[in-house]
Amino acid sequence: MQEEKEKVIIFPKWKNNLEHEAKKAMEGRDFQTAFSYFQKLTENGVESPEVLTGKLICMMELNMEEEAEELCEQLIAKKDNHYYSYIHIYATLLFQASKYNQVMYLIEDVLEEQVPSQVSGQLHQMYQLSKELQQQVDIQTKQEVLQKLTEAIKEKNDRQQWYMVKRLLYLGSQEDISLLKEMLVNREIHPVVKTAILEYYIDNNLNGRIHIEKFHLEEAIDLHNAEVIPEKFLSGIYKNLEHLQQNDPTSFQMIQFILQRFAYVYTPFLPQEDNYSLFAETLEYYVSQSYQFEVDEVHHLTKIKDQYIKMIGVSETLYGSILEV
């Protein structure tokens, strides 16, 4: 209470003096000193637009990026009379930090509102410049990723290959990359990496046909309306496991995980529709064996079930070698 009392008594003179000293320090480009004055002012409840703007400018000059962004977000959330001024400062802050995508997202949201013409012009200009710079960054990043991917192929580093393909997908380049097509038919490339390449082509809505090799099998895939893992396959297997979902949900959940991993490894070379029931039975058998300390001999299984058991084991190993620590 005593502290609050002292603030009230000295406030007018103290406030004016600090504001004057802060302005003087900024003019002399002593941003650290100016920031300390602005900090004292805001800590004591002085939050005029001039003080807050001055504080933000100092934070930007002092590379206090995270703190400045947080303060901007708080000020923008208030949506007061200085809303667009804070938006412009925030966009400038993000731009200086080379966060061009964030600048564009911010401006896109703001321009959906009724924006004063002067502010609108400034934001449009910043948006266009951010877009051009982001495109340059993406091109440079893509070239770096492709270089690392090429190195990973030479080094036979499967996990690094998978990660680089995923990076290309994240960049959203939407380009037909010859290296990826070569990898799809290269027998030394890991099946899980090839599935990631399928994701790249399908998720980017690329057209045409691609050829893929896995497990000494080859297929040409028409990318139009293609699926990485066909929904028909998954739903067909689950339909044959409805009884298990009701009676043994724990086993059903285990089967779901195993089936997803199996499909990711083997796609597009998955069991045919005529064998969905048989494959579902094999999954049940595989999971039931995992609960036992001694695995039963499988000599009594049909040849195709025996083959499916081996394929499931292979898929677990291959999936884990890339996507599990």
Banded pLDDT at 8 (limits 50, 70, 90): very low
CB 311 within 8 A of CB 266: yes
Amino acid sitting at position 3: E
Whole-model pTM?
0.67
- Which of 9-13, 54-58, 234-238 shows the lowest per-residue confidence on average (mean pLDDT)? 9-13
pLDDT in tens, 52-110: 988 998 998 888 988 999 999 999 998 888 888 889 889 988 888 888 999 999 999 99
Cα torsion 323, 144, 203, 198 to 10°: value is -60
User: What are the backbone angles phi and psi of residue 140, rounded to the nearest 5°?
Assistant: -65, -45
Q: Quick one: DSSP state of residue 296?
A: P
Rounded alpha-carbon distances, angstroms, from residue 141 to 83, 101, 128, 226, 323? 35, 14, 20, 28, 24
- pLDDT at residue 98, as a whole number: 82
Check residue 301 and give its pLDDT: 65
Confidence of residue 293 (pLDDT cuts 50, 70, 90): very low
What's the rounded mean pLDDT across residues 284-304? 69
- Which ranges constitute the DSSP H helices of the chain? 2-27, 31-43, 49-61, 65-78, 83-96, 100-110, 117-154, 158-171, 178-184, 191-203, 231-239, 242-247, 249-266, 276-290, 303-323
Confidence (pLDDT) at 289: 83
> Do residues 163 and 194 touch, judged by C-beta distance below 8 A?
no
DSSP string, 206-248: --SEEEEEETTEEEEEE-TT--SS-HHHHHHHHHTTHHHHHH-
- Dump pLDDT digits (tens) for 117-162: 878 888 888 899 999 888 888 878 899 999 999 999 999 999 999 9
Of 95, 94, 168, 93, residue with least CA distance to 138: 168
Q: Which tokens hold the place of 312?
A: 């499931």
Q: Left (φ > 0), alpha (ψ -120 to 50) or beta: where does 80 sit?
A: beta
Q: What is the residue type of 254? A: M
pLDDT over 50 (residue 294): no
- Per the model's pLDDT, the better-predicted residue between 185 and 62 turns out to be 185
pLDDT at 48: 85
